[in-house]
């Protein structure tokens, strides 16, 4: 696999030189990937596969029009370059505006801290899934269905551009997902956990307690009363904070959302206050060791750390070279594609709310009746509106954590919710379980993190309050 890509370096560099005069911008990206996919459902292994793929993409821009072509045979690369150029010249009618970047010649690899999953035998990975599946099933007879999903991939990418860049980078990614659904009559509850890493196969081992707790949450929830729907002061844990900042705010910070939608551009105007002076929000691939970390994005722009909100005020957004050029801002290295079948689009990397100064126990003070929510089992966003379902939750009464409740959904407007953050905890947690979806490209590895938050007037859905 690696030798095939290395042999292609001279080919793509030569094609860039031959064709770059016909367009304003030309890029060729080659990719080699190999991976394992295992799905255990119930007692049965439904998927057990190892795969290798080699392919690439060509992107061309002419007078603001983009042409794109993907391929999986190097012998057809010349024709695919011509296809992308022809498409760009067909649709281009305006001006190509790309933020300038310095040409880069570099070769980098994200280093593992332990075992490479590609060197672990398939039967060991299968046995690991079966082991965790047995734990899920053994928690309680009311566990009706379980699933365990294992995935690993090793990717190597080579990018050549008409700006003079030639970049090679590689990484390994791992993920496991666990789910248990418990049933008691008409009542059904699900517990989930996801673990991801770009560090070592060992990060997926010794998860017995975490897997058991996922199933136990589902079982315990069967006997819990549903929360009474209302607007509450809510305390959320760092995992929910990370989900919130990614889903509810992070996507709105992706600059293609802004320049394609004047209404969002007006709302997301730099200098606008969104929260208290304590609120700091960042995104960046430059920090090491997380699933959204890399050296260069898929346009060859170096990874950065971008502050999105500083002291409660919007000060930045995430860019591709095109969005940065059109909005006359600096590129941030956030153009990413899931694989060679898709063009790069603006995507988050690692997104987080900085820790605050309030001790976590003090977040609960003076709350006469509220909700404490931890973890998550699902959610959705629609523009600035969000709805998340907590993995587990308790009522807060007179400043103390009280009885557990189930069916807790948190919903609201992202901007109002940011403004309603009353206190930011002094704890912090990185969640490496993220698989982000956008523009048909689902499952892109990201990281998200944050501290515990206290937020007023959150709409909590559950059982309706009797009049």
- Domain identity same for 169 and 236: no
- Domain identity same for 196 and 235: no
Alpha helices in 22-114 (DSSP H): 77-91
Contact (Cβ atoms closer than 8 angstroms) between residue 251 and residue 438 = yes
Within a domain: 452: yes
Within a domain: 377: yes
Within a domain: 466: no
Helix (H, G, I), strand (E, B) or coil at 156: strand
- Domain identity same for 197 and 306: no
d(CA 292, CA 448): 9
> What's the confidence (pLDDT) of residue 6?
66
Residues 6+ apart with CB under 8 A from 235: 363, 364, 367, 370, 371, 372, 373, 396, 452, 453, 454, 455
Within a domain: 449: yes
What residue has token string 């709105």? 252
CA distances from 122 to 73, 116, 363, 437, 466 (A): 28, 13, 47, 28, 55
- Domain identity same for 76 and 137: yes
Q: What torsion, rounded to 10 degrees, do the Cα atoms 322, 327, 329, 333 define?
A: -30
Domain count within the chain = 2
> What's the confidence (pLDDT) of residue 3?
62
Contact (Cβ atoms closer than 8 angstroms) between residue 56 and residue 157 = no
Which residues in 305-314 are b (16+ Cβ under 10 Å) and which e? ebebbeebeb
CA proximity to 20, closest of 90, 105, 85, 86: 85
- Domain identity same for 193 and 279: no
- Domain identity same for 109 and 243: no
Residues 6+ apart with CB under 8 A from 374: 236, 237, 239, 240, 390, 391, 392, 393
- The residue from 177, 198, 221 where one domain ends is 221
- Domain identity same for 32 and 161: yes
Within a domain: 467: no
**Residue-level pLDDT, tens digit, the chain, 467 residues:** 556 666 788 899 999 999 999 999 999 999 999 999 999 999 999 999 999 999 999 999 999 999 999 999 889 999 999 999 999 999 999 999 999 999 999 999 999 999 999 999 999 999 999 999 999 999 999 999 999 999 999 999 999 999 999 999 999 999 999 999 999 999 999 999 999 999 999 999 999 999 999 999 999 999 999 999 999 999 999 999 999 999 889 999 999 988 888 888 888 999 999 999 999 999 999 999 999 999 999 999 999 999 999 999 999 999 999 999 999 999 999 999 999 999 999 999 999 999 999 999 999 999 999 999 999 987 788 888 999 999 999 999 999 999 999 999 999 999 999 999 999 999 999 999 878 999 999 999 999 999 999 999 999 986 544 33
pTM confidence score: 0.94
CATH code of 166's domain: 3.30.2290.10
> What's the confidence (pLDDT) of residue 467?
32
d(CA 448, CA 245): 8
Contact (Cβ atoms closer than 8 angstroms) between residue 81 and residue 28 = yes
Within a domain: 21: yes
> What's the confidence (pLDDT) of residue 466?
36
- The residue from 160, 194, 221 where one domain ends is 221
- Domain identity same for 234 and 214: no
Within a domain: 158: yes
- Domain identity same for 180 and 326: no
CA proximity to 335, closest of 167, 450, 194: 167
> What's the confidence (pLDDT) of residue 379?
79
- Domain identity same for 94 and 193: yes
Within a domain: 352: yes
Phi, psi angles (nearest 5°) of residue 113: -100, -5
Name 36's bridge partners: 50, 152
Phi, psi angles (nearest 5°) of residue 359: -55, 140
- Domain identity same for 282 and 336: yes
- Domain identity same for 347 and 432: yes
Residue-number span of the structural domain to which 97 is assigned: 2-221
- The residue from 184, 203, 221 where one domain ends is 221
Q: 188: exposed, middle or buried (C-beta count within 10 Å: 0-12, 13-18, 19+)?
A: middle
CA proximity to 59, closest of 136, 150, 151, 163: 163
């Amino acid at each position: 696999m690696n030798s095939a890509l290395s042999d292609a370096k001279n080919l793509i560099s030569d094609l860039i030189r031959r064709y770059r005069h016909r367009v304003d911008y030309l890029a060729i990206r080659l990719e080699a990937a190999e991976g394992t996919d295992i799905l255990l459902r119930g007692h049965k292994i439904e998927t057990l596969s190892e795969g290798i793929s080699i392919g690439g993409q060509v992107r061309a821009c002419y007078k603001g029009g983009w042409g794109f072509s993907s391929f999986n045979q190097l012998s057809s690369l010349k024709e695919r370059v011509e296809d992308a150029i022809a498409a760009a010249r067909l649709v281009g009618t305006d001006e190509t505006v790309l933020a300038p970047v310095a040409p880069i010649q570099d070769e980098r690899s994200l280093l593992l801290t332990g075992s490479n999953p590609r060197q672990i035998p398939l039967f060991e990975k299968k046995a690991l899934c079966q082991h965790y599946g047995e734990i899920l099933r053994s928690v309680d007879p009311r566990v009706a269905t379980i699933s365990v999903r294992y995935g690993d991939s090793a990717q190597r990418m080579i990018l050549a551009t008409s700006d003079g860049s030639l970049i090679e980078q590689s990484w390994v990614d791992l993920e496991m997902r666990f789910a248990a659904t418990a049933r008691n009559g008409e009542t059904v509850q699900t517990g989930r956990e996801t673990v991801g890493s770009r560090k070592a196969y060992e990060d997926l081992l010794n998860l017995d307690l975490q897997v058991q707790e996922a199933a136990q949450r589902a079982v315990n929830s069967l006997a819990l009363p549903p929360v009474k729907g209302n607007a509450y002061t809510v305390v959320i844990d760092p995992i929910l904070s990370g989900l919130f900042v990614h889903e509810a705010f992070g996507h709105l910070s992706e600059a293609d959302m802004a320049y394609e939608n004047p209404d969002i551009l007006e709302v997301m105007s730099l200098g606008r206050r969104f929260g208290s002076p304590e609120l700091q929000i960042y995104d960046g691939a430059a920090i090491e060791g997380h699933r959204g970390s890399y050296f260069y994005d898929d346009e060859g722009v170096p990874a950065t750390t971008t502050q999105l909100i500083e002291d409660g005020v919007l000060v930045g957004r995430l860019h591709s070279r095109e969005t940065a050029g059109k909005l006359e801002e600096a590129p941030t290295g956030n153009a990413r594609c899931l694989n060679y079948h898709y063009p790069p689009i603006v995507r988050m990397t690692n997104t987080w709310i900085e820790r605050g100064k309030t001790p976590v126990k003090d977040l609960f003070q003076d709350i006469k009746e509220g909700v404490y929510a931890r973890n998550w089992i699902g959610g959705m966003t629609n523009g600035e509106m969000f709805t998340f379902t907590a993995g587990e939750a308790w009522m807060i009464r007179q400043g103390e954590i009280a009885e557990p409740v189930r069916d807790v959904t948190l919903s609201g407007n992202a901007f109002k919710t940011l403004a309603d953050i009353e206190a930011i905890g002094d704890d912090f947690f990185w969640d490496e379980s993220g698989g982000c979806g956008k523009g048909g490209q689902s499952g892109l590895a990201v990281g998200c993190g944050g501290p515990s938050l206290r937020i007023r007037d959150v709409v909590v859905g559950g059982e309706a309050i009797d009049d």
